[in-house]
Structure 1
Amino acid sequence: MSDPSSVRQTASGTSRSLKRSQPRYGEKAIQVLLVAASLVSVATTVGIVIALIPPAAAFFGQVGIGEFLTGTDWSPLFKPPSFGVLPLVTGTLMITAIAIAVALPLGLGAAVYLSEYASPRTRKIFKPVLEVLAGIPTVVFGFFALKFVTPLLQDIWPAGDGPEVFNALSAGFVMGIMIIPTIASLSEDAMSAVPRSLRDGAFALGSSRMQVSTRVVVPAALSGIVAATVLGISRAIGETMIVAVAAGGRPNLSADPLEGMQPMTGFIAAAGIGDLPTGSLGYQTIFAVGSLLFVMTLLMNLLSIRLVRKYREVYE
């Protein structure tokens, strides 16, 4: 007996199988390409780890992990050298915190406007304009922070109390502007994916547009917003040119954002273009700091995955 799900009755009374008669090589080729793309991503990550481990292991063979993680003085190229990475970590976290403080409210505000208030025509115009910021070279942002934002802050502050020429505040502020498109675009995509029925139900109960946006749409899209925020934080932590140009090159264990600081990426950039002999202890510090940066980013992404799974909403 023929399977009724695989046979269709034609107009002439004969039956024709609905099963695929010929293999679709195009679909298989697409599957192979997708698998290859996934493997390239995995292989790249594995390659980075393999490149970091031997020099980092050689470094920690001479410098204790406790001294590296808890030391408060970073001067690996001086005599006697000091390998306390806390000043670099402090600079990284300080600048990243300033960037998120700027980008998160502005990015979410832009996402709520584009998703809930803007007309389709306005959205088609504003979203590409907003995403143009993502295409500006980061070195341009760095010189914008150094030549425009820092002098502006120095003019605003009382005489003698303003920020230094190189400071964490201007670098973090401009970095926040740089990651606004990342947070705004991904958050807007998550909000737009919220079913229209949730909005209609809230409006039917007498809610205002602001109440619908903040109490219905944003909570429903929270997993996407968290993912966008963590992606923005990861990009801020890994940014190099802005901090190399505007934040300064002096490791500084300080809580004052008006002072110059050197984050981890700034040190890697500065040391990487120097004249450090390959295989020396000073050269290996680049890989030690890079390994710590890799671990920090990995932990942040693991936390992001857990938060996304916790707050993910599934709609039928």
Structure 2
Amino acid sequence: MIVLAYLRQQKISKKQAMITGRREMKKSHKCEVIFENGGILATRRYSYADIKRMTNSFKEKLGQGGYGCVYKGKLPDGHLVAVKILSKLKGDGEDFINEVNSMSRTSHINIVTLLGFCFHKTKRALVYEYMPNGSLEKLIYEENYFKLGGRHLGWDTLYQISLGIAQGLEYLHQGCNSRILHFDIKPHNILLDENYCPKISDFGLAKICHREESKISLLDTRGTAGFIAPEVFCRNIGGISQKSDVYSFGMTVLEMVGGRKNIMTGAERTSEIYFPHWIHKRLELQEEFGLQNVTTEGDTEKARKMVIVSLWCIQTNPSIRPTMSEVVDMLRGGVDCLQVPPKPYLTSPSRSSPTIPMSMVV
């Protein structure tokens, strides 16, 4: 009986494997059709053998996430690259198609360059320019740079990074032939080159839309808890638009300013759990921010400018938030010209409770 049960289970497993294999092949075929019809093949396409060669059989891992792993590689001409290997194809492969399609349309100093891709049956990879300083989150959180023996980046560098991210988003919203909404701006998706020039990466959730579209429709909530604009998961707040990226930018800059996660449930005082409210109160009462490494008047001015601009960006009502063009102007202008924004009341779902639709932080 045990042998019969085992053989039956083996037969079922083989059948399931065959069904799964057929599904993957269908997805692969659909992606091939989209690539060919969409004209994306203008971006260089590599074979899986090419990918293995350039990464020396995946010898040096740079990072890992829910999408898969990133490896360091080298092209035949000696140029270093980062190769992202996607572990599984979501839905019909729309994330992969999105990333290739979106990034093949871009060319900007603050957008990471897609050098090519691999799509062979179930094997998928993206080849990017290599960023020696990695992603922003490794360098801005106190817990990270103390652990790694690093130091505070300095306020001039932080300011230049925030301006660079803003310019990259302004380009996506206004400078491309088609408007691109990113929908996943966060420190993990900002890469830094050898001079700490920021480059926006990871366009898997991006949406390409016509310039004349002021608002767009989404069938699902997309983004990362803690950075998602309120209107993306609660549609009665306002329409989804480029202002949703503005919100995520504001939350990213606030984490750069605070050197910590915006929502920190382990904080000693209740008032310190949600950083945007804590810093807004300091701003309103004209108190010292008490931030790390502020040593000169220039540091104070840059920190204050970043705080005020980011608090405008995370306003609950999307219509009150500035556009990214206005954000760039605000960051370049004088701090004395900036008004203190109203206190933002609604936040995106907390990192610890991503299933909660909305949290009110008092």
Q: TM-score range by the shorter chain?
A: under 0.3
Higher relative contact order (CA 8 A, sep 6+): 1
Larger relative strand fraction: 2
**TM-score in terms of structure 2 length:** 0.21
**TM-score in terms of structure 1 length:** 0.24
Which of the pair has more CA radius of gyration? 1
